[in-house]
Amino acid sequence: MGAKKGQLKDIQKMLGGIEKADKPAAGAKLNAVKSAINSAFEGAQQNLAGGDDSGSDPTFDPTLPGTRPSLGHIHPITQTISHLTEIMGRMGFEVAEGPEVEDPWHNFVALNIPEDHPARDPLDNFYLATAKDPSGKSSVSAGDEGSQLLRSQTSTVQIRVMKEVQPPIRIISLGRVYRPDAPDATHFPMFHQMEGLLVDTNVTMANLKTVLRVFANNYLGEDVEIRFRPSFFPFTEPSVEVDFLWNGTWIEFGGAGMIDPNVFAAVGYDPEKVSGFAFGLGVERLCMRRHGITDIRDLYSGDLRFLKQF
């Protein structure tokens, strides 16, 4: 506001470069701005001098720090995802992402899940009404070419990565998956998975078990007890399920296994030259085990009294 070196004075000097026809309007605009700034400045001076008649507190000190607003904090599931990413990153795994709306090829076919497999049942998936019959009405069919669904597993990301990248591969994918489960203490229709994939030469089940044990010890503690049970998944062979001991009960927290040769063939890899393993872990169950949470529904209740504890 200085008469010689003020910023408003500098702007006034710039009026000389404006077209003659535009100068009157520009000058009027500048005068209006100067008047508003002068009025605000004088009003502030009057308030600080105690000459304000509006009833404001004359003892108010604008130099004192204000009241810090409540900003909340990161949700426990997001905290868990960040922690899992950091642990797996120390073992050389990079993060990969994929869409939550998928097609049957990525969600089932490329994962060696045949059309008659129960996992493809429309009652066990959220198929989207994106196709239309000749009458113009939307229809849903699990076998329709071009049909879409909310992904039921993050394994779809490993297919997308292997289609684009040649081995060696070491990635994890963390994100939401959807299954029409009835909500209870350990199930919810929307939950999060961490998918892991390692593809190279001479990869064995011993590598898989080592990675999962190192992960469990880092996240759940050195004293955690885990076990591997033989199982079956269409996209791995051999397959295992991984449990941890909690309150005297074995709780499943993921499935894993060596990648089936049919999956490699689907993405263009030679199963005679490469091998690998994959695993999928439930993020919510890991979060619940670490923080002593007994009901998964509490994580999505929106109750700040609960969420503020973490």
Is the bond preceding 168 in cis, omega lying within 30 degrees of 0?
Answer: yes
Check pLDDT > 90 for residue 84. Answer: yes
User: What's this model's pTM, rounded to 2 decimal places?
Assistant: 0.71
Backbone φ, ψ for residue 75 (5° rounding) = -60, 145
Of 288, 285, 291, 286, nearest to 309 by C-alpha is: 291
Q: What is the 3-class SS of 193-252, one letter each residue?
A: EEEEEEEECCCCHHHHHHHHHHHHHHHHCCCCCEEEEEEEECCEEEEEEEEEEECCEEEE
Q: Look at residues 120, 193, 197 and name the one whose alpha carbon lies nearest to residue 164.
A: 197
- Please give the average per-residue pLDDT across 289-308, as a whole number: 91
Question: What backbone phi and psi angles, to 5 degrees, belong to 195?
Answer: -95, 135
Mean pLDDT in residue range 283-296: 91
Residue 50 clears pLDDT 70, i.e. is over it: no
| Mean pLDDT of all residues in 268-294 | 93
Could you tell me the CA-to-CA distances from 178 to 83, 125, 135, 309 in Å, in that order? 22, 7, 30, 27
Q: Give residue limits of the domains in the chain.
A: 76-134+146-308
pLDDT given at position 137: 53
State the pLDDT at residue 10: 85
Average pLDDT of the residues in 233-243: 92
> What's the confidence (pLDDT) of residue 67?
86
* Statement: residue 249 has pLDDT above 80: yes
Radius of gyration of the chain (CA): 31
- Residue 101 · residue 128 · CB < 8 Å: yes
What is the phi/psi pair of residue 245, to 5°? -85, 125
For the chain, the helix, strand and coil percentages under 3-state DSSP, each to the nearest 5: 40, 25, 40
pLDDT at 299: 94
No. of H helices and E strands in the chain?
9, 12
Tokens of 80: 């868990």
Whether CATH 3.30.930.10 fits 76-134+146-308: yes
Q: Is 284 annotated as a binding residue?
A: no
pLDDT in tens, 159-191: 999 999 999 999 999 999 999 999 998 889 999
Query: Which class for 206: exposed (0-12), middle (13-18), buried (19 or more C-beta within 10 A)?
Result: exposed
